[in-house]
């Protein structure tokens, strides 16, 4: 008999993500009423906002009707409208809990959230049982499904009514035992722009695993029409956009302006649409150029955008678009140093060649190593940090470009006095092509990302890496 008057509560199970909900049911002589699915209340208790798109009902005439065990690549919200079932769930996902089993009874006062890849089955304990479930994807012949035999000895489900006495489909009778089951793989991570400096750092961070997919413009052009149909996007959990137009001076030309808007705005808009429609987390890398650099002190994530040039304007526009995605991280960084040609290595080479450079001394900021951006992205995703914008740069005292150049000279055994400070205007005096305006203050406040437990490496270690070509990032973190 359905229990009335319970409070809405949750119970964790041994299977990660499989959560049982006790539902308040209100009844009288006329019958009963319940809120079977109430997004605001249930997400407040920790349930993911899984975005159901379809509601199905399975009606069962007789006691003992037995169905399953089926694992699909979508999440389910399972409940009973009338009657009562014995439910059994087996984790068929790749990972350490593969094969874990959980059972419970469901009546109209209970529901269970079944995460993607967990096998679902039930046996009716009352006649005329209506079993109902919400799912957050539509059935597709191209999706990955997995099945387990109801009588599997490893799972060892103690069915209330023996399986040889109940109605079971021939398909369910012939499903494989656990040892032959194909596990459901995790949702994919798509890294766009994987051949750039940040993209290579993300390759180092995530490695060569089947559920991480790397693309560049030759394999996925986010500015081309048809992005919505370029993948089966419901198979993806995260998109990391490491692609961007970053030629700040060329962006001031007619061709560069067009290309900057295409990559940094049009392409990002298409990604935002895909992420929103498919409940994907979108990670987007931003820039200190969204600010004009006139603030006294470090910029926080909440400061108003005020870009100076075309590049900054396109990055600011892209940021605003990404904020419309329910699950998003905007990583705002500055003065990026990656594997390959960069400012620090250039200064090291000039020092070795005996050249005494003139270096800009009226712009202030912190260097940021691409490996730390990749590490920060992984940290935010892995810890399920609150969605939003995070500043991520090197730590330590801010410096000018000229200060950093002197530091590189000193680290490589050369006289830092060989560096001459000049203003930005002096540096670009006589230029025959358009020059983008630069923010003079590029200092970003790091309190928000540090509060998530992320440790930022200081500028000195980054400079040491860049100046010494034999060192890799891991060599300067000890």
Identify the burial level of 273 via C-beta atoms within 10 angstroms of its C-beta, where 0-12 means exposed, 13-18 middle and 19 or more buried.
Answer: middle
- The CATH number of the domain holding residue 208 is 3.40.50.720
Task: Report, as an integer, the average pLDDT of 393-400.
Answer: 91
Contacts of residue 170, defined as CB under 8 A and 6 or more positions apart, other chains included, come to none
Q: Determine which one of 70, 102, 211, 387 is catalytic.
A: 70
The residue count of the chain comes to: 478
CB-CB neighbours of 120 under 10 Å: 21
**Structural domain of residue 291, as residue ranges?**
188-476
The 3-state DSSP class for residue 386 equals coil
Give the pLDDT score at 477: 28
Pair 138, 239 in one domain = no
Pair 387, 295 in one domain = yes
Active site residue 328: no
Pair 192, 322 in one domain = yes
Residues 316 and 290: beta-carbon distance below 8 Å = yes
pLDDT reading at 474 higher than 60? no
Greater model confidence, 462 or 195: 195
The total domain count for the chain is: 2
Both structure tokens of 247: 């030629």
Give the pLDDT score at 466: 47
The CA-based angle 25-31-32, given to 5 degrees, is: 15
In angstroms, rounded to a whole number, what is the distance separating the alpha carbons of residues 124 and 84?
6
Residues 32 and 4: beta-carbon distance below 8 Å = yes
Active site residue 133: yes
Tell me which of 123, 146, 180 is where a domain ends. Answer: 180
Pair 328, 433 in one domain = yes
Instruction: State pLDDT tens for residues 207-231.
Output: 999 999 999 989 999 999 999 999 9
1 found inside a domain: no
Q: Which residue has the tokens 């001076």?
A: 249
Pair 72, 215 in one domain = no
End-to-end CA distance of the chain: 63
Q: How confident is the model at residue 458 (pLDDT cuts 50, 70, 90)?
A: low
Q: Determine which one of 122, 131, 133, 289 is catalytic.
A: 133
- The CATH number of the domain holding residue 118 is 2.60.120.10
Mean pLDDT of the chain: 91
In angstroms, rounded to a whole number, what is the distance separating the alpha carbons of residues 280 and 240?
10
Q: How confident is the model at residue 470 (pLDDT cuts 50, 70, 90)?
A: very low
In this prediction, what percent of the chain has a pLDDT beyond 70?
95
Pair 199, 56 in one domain = no
Tell me which of 180, 202, 233 is where a domain ends. Answer: 180
Give the pLDDT score at 4: 75
Give the pLDDT score at 478: 23
Give the pLDDT score at 1: 59
Pair 286, 345 in one domain = yes
Residues 310 and 246: beta-carbon distance below 8 Å = no
């Amino acid at each position: 008999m359905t229990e009335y008057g319970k409070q809405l509560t949750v119970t964790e199970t041994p299977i990660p993500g499989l959560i049982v909900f006790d539902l308040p049911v209100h009844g009288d002589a006329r019958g009963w009423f319940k809120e079977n699915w109430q997004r605001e209340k249930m997400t407040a208790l920790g349930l993911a906002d899984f975005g159901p798109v379809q509601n199905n009902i399975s009606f069962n005439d007789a006691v003992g009707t037995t169905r399953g065990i089926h694992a699909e690549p979508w999440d389910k919200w399972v409940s009973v409208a009338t009657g009562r079932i014995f439910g059994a769930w087996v984790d068929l996902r790749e990972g350490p809990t593969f094969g874990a089993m959980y059972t419970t009874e469901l009546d109209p006062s209970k529901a269970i959230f079944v995460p993607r890849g967990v096998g679902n089955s039930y046996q009716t304990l009352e006649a005329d049982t209506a079993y109902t479930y919400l799912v957050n994807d539509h059935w597709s012949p191209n999706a990955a499904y997995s099945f387990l035999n109801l009588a599997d000895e490893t799972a060892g489900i103690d069915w209330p009514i023996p399986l040889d006495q109940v109605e079971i489909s021939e398909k369910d009778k012939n499903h494989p035992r656990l040892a032959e089951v194909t596990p459901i793989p995790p949702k994919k991570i798509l890294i766009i722009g994987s051949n750039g400096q940040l993209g290579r750092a993300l390759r180092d961070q995530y490695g060569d695993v089947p559920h991480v997919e790397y693309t560049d413009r030759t394999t996925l052009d986010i500015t081309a029409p048809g992005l919505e149909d370029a993948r089966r996007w419901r198979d993806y959990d995260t998109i990391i956009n490491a692609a961007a137009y970053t030629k700040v001076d060329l962006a001031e030309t007619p061709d560069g302006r067009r290309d900057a808007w295409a990559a940094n705005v049009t392409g990002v808009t298409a990604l935002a649409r895909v992420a929103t429609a498919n409940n994907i987390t979108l990670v987007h890398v931003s820039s200190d150029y969204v600010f004009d650099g006139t603030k006294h002190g470090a910029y926080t994530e909440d400061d108003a955008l005020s870009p100076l040039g075309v590049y900054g304007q396109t990055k600011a526009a892209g940021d605003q678009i990404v904020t419309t995605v329910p699950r998003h991280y905007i990583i705002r960084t500055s003065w990026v140093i990656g594997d390959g040609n960069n400012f620090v290595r250039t200064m090291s080479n000039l020092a070795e060649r005996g050249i005494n450079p003139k270096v800009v001394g009226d712009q202030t900021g912190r260097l940021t190593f691409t490996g730390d951006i990749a590490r920060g992205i992984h940290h935010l995703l892995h810890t399920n940090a609150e969605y939003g914008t995070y500043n991520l740069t090197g730590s330590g005292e801010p410096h000018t470009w000229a200060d950093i150049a002197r530091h590189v000279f000193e680290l490589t055994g050369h006289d830092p006095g060989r560096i001459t400070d000049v203003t930005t205007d002096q540096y670009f005096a006589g230029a025959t092509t358009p020059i983008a305006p630069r923010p003079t203050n590029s200092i970003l406040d790091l309190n928000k990302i540090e509060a998530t437990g992320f440790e930022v490496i200081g500028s000195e270690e980054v400079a040491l890496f860049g100046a010494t070509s034999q060192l890799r990032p891991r060599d300067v973190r000890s």
